[in-house]
A and B are shown apart, each in its own frame.
Chain A
């Protein structure tokens, strides 16, 4: 088995596709290309993780993969948390993912967001009880 297939299996284990098909798996969002943008710093950590999982990782059942990654997360917590942050960073930048969870695609500027102005008549009880809320004069 190649590193590629082990990585793909790891990504599918960390963030599998949703059963309803709405959310892609982490192996479908261009993690390879993302890694290139992260520079040299990430590669050694990723290689260390892939080596620990072993070449046969991709051939294991989903349950066995989950168990093996759980063991890894316990034995190498910092390494694992670093990898997961990279995977989530890539995953939650993906246009399909963002569209599914209601986040603007691409840079948030200059698109921005609409926010409900809110109903200021909700302040009526505060105004009616203003004597109760008076600030303290020295």
Chain B
């Protein structure tokens, strides 16, 4: 092992959504900042859409499931005891490389669920606290949307909305018939040239990476700015554990470099940005005599309260051609009609309805084979033609409430390529989530029929949908009931900060990337404002 005496001011672990935002924010302080990222950079020329076989490649080395990809830079995840399989990307940009870029914010009510609905806990911060950071994040990332949505606090996205296309218009007609809310989605995809990047080309499969750079992943938004301002980004560096000194302060991290050689990097401040699974994994793997149950875990809550979001989908088949495979698959329009609590529905909290476009021809044909709706043989062409590009879908993204039995632990046997214990997920959907999804699927069927669909299929919660990794190192004011305080500092280790989705107290009912990044910017700003007495 190489023990470096070199001490950096700030060490960030993870170069994804939150790590990139914090690195950029802190870079105006003049502090020496290093970020360690276990994966590498993706060359945009390597994304599947550069090849004719863009669909099949999306199921291989660019698959959303790390257990399917199995890259050396991935760590395996044991999902055997989980009803939902976690997905991610490990590399510069983190899961923004493969995300759908649907970019709604949590609602003001999401921060006050205990007060409003008597469930879970309130956050120690509120929407108003994060509002300026949402705005700043939208500006740096490049967000398209339409001002004026009555279901959200006022905001002005920096770019006009993405094209709705025939899918959006068709489903919107259904919402209008029922008198339900809908609005063009806020999307981290640029509808016009912005900040040196050219606009989205409507390639379609955003969730296998964007060759054009129209999708706002942090490798092309925050990172170039942060590196230009002096942040050092070290790739292929996999952290094993965070070390503490005799005073119980973090003194640095042990990590493996690209050659598999163990290194030690000293630091004054350590910031964890490894997502809701990676962060508890490393904290639990950082045991010492002072922290025998894992670092920053005196509450016993590190790894607990894992939330994913229950996800269901309704798919409608239309007589008219909708050009479904064209355009950003996950970003079109959304509905918040059932977002806020209405106890007459039989559950608390609510869900977002995310209208999405269809799939490419290979996925259509294979899904048709598996469901029996598109046979092989002489009837293949007619069945295919009836379905391909004739589909609109509604994703139901339901709020998942925190439950301590849903958790991340260290697998006793499974390890990554450096021998570091892999995370094991234990997760079961709560009764409230299941009722919510059942309600959402029924409402989805209702609206898609109102839009004109003549055949409807629905299902959920679906298993390989664990994009949103939340709650495993929750924020709070009580050290017995939370892992970090109201500005992300560990209650137990005063120079250790957590800025990723782990700190979410509750999940809201929308995709969390925007709120994760707003929290990261807020915490970075709090660090800057408290530099003089940061460890008091």
Interface residues of A (CB under 8 A from B): 13-16, 18, 23, 62, 66, 69, 81, 84-85, 88-89, 91-93, 97-98, 101-103, 105-120, 122-123, 125-127, 129-131, 133-138
B134 contacts the other chain (CB 8 A): no
Report yes or no: A92 in contact with B55, Cβ–Cβ below 8 A: yes
- The reply to whether B376 and A84 contact each other, CB–CB distance below 8 Å, is yes
> Are B107 and A112 in contact, with the CB atoms below 8 A?
no
Whether the Cβ atoms of B361 and A113 lie closer than 8 Å is no
Q: For the side of the interface on B, what is the size category?
A: 35 or more
Q: Which residues of B contact A102 (CB under 8 A)?
A: 321, 323, 389
On chain A, the residues within 8 Å of B55 by CB distance are 89, 92
Decide yes or no whether B325 CB sits under 8 A from chain A: yes
A-B contact pairs, 30 of them (CB 8 A): A14-B376, A14-B380, A16-B378, A18-B381, A23-B381, A62-B378, A84-B369, A84-B376, A85-B362, A93-B52, A97-B361, A107-B49, A108-B54, A109-B212, A110-B201, A112-B212, A113-B326, A114-B326, A115-B163, A115-B202, A116-B165, A118-B163, A118-B164, A118-B165, A119-B164, A123-B146, A123-B183, A133-B181, A135-B107, A138-B116
B321-344: CB near A (< 8 Å → 1, else 0) gives 101011100000000110111000
State the Cβ distance, A116 to closest chain B Cβ, in Å.
5
Residues on B with beta carbons closer than 8 Å to the beta carbon of A69: 376-377
B168 lies within 8 A of chain A by Cβ: yes
Whether A136 and B116, one on each chain, are in contact in the complex, defined by CB atoms closer than 8 angstroms, is: yes
A92 with B361: in contact, given A110-B201, A135-B107, A136-B108 (CB under 8 Å)?
yes
A-contact bits for B365-380, CB 8 A (1 contact / 0 none): 1100110000011101
Q: Is B148 an interface residue (CB 8 A)?
A: yes
Nearest Cβ in chain B — how far from A97, in angstroms?
8
Interface of chain A, main secondary structure: loop
A-B pairs, top 3 by smallest CB distance, nearest first, are: A118-B164, A112-B201, A130-B150
Which of A91, A122, A126 has the most C-beta atoms of chain B within 10 angstroms of its own C-beta? A126
A119-B169 contact, Cβ under 8 Å, with A101-B388, A109-B49, A109-B203:
yes
User: How many angstroms from the CA of A92 to the CA of B50 in the assembled complex?
Assistant: 16
B207-218 Cβ-contact flags toward A at 8 Å (1 or 0): 000011000000
Nearest Cβ on chain A to B393's Cβ, whole angstroms: 16
Q: How far is the CA of A93 from the CA of B52 in the complex (A)?
A: 6
- CB neighbours (8 Å) of B52 from chain A are 93, 105-107
Seed contacts A107-B49, A122-B172, A133-B337; 20 additional CB < 8 Å A-B pairs: A14-B377, A23-B381, A81-B369, A84-B369, A88-B369, A93-B52, A103-B325, A106-B52, A107-B52, A108-B49, A113-B325, A115-B202, A116-B165, A122-B169, A126-B175, A126-B176, A133-B181, A135-B108, A135-B151, A138-B116
Q: How far is the CA of A77 from the CA of B203 in the complex (A)?
A: 33
Judge if B112 is at the interface, Cβ distance under 8 Å: yes
* Residue of A whose beta carbon sits closest to that of B162: A115
A106 and B52 alpha carbons, distance in the complex (Å): 4
**B312 interface contact, C-beta 8 A:** no
Cross-interface CB contact of A66 among B163, B340, B361, B377, cutoff 8 Å: B377
B179 within 8 A of A: yes
Closest to B341 in A: A136
A15 to B379, CA, bound (A): 9
Partner pick for A101 among B53, B153, B212, B361, CB 8 A cutoff: B361
Contact assessment for B150 and A134 in the assembled complex, using a CB-CB cutoff below 8 Å: yes
Q: Are B211 and A122 in contact (CB under 8 A)?
A: no
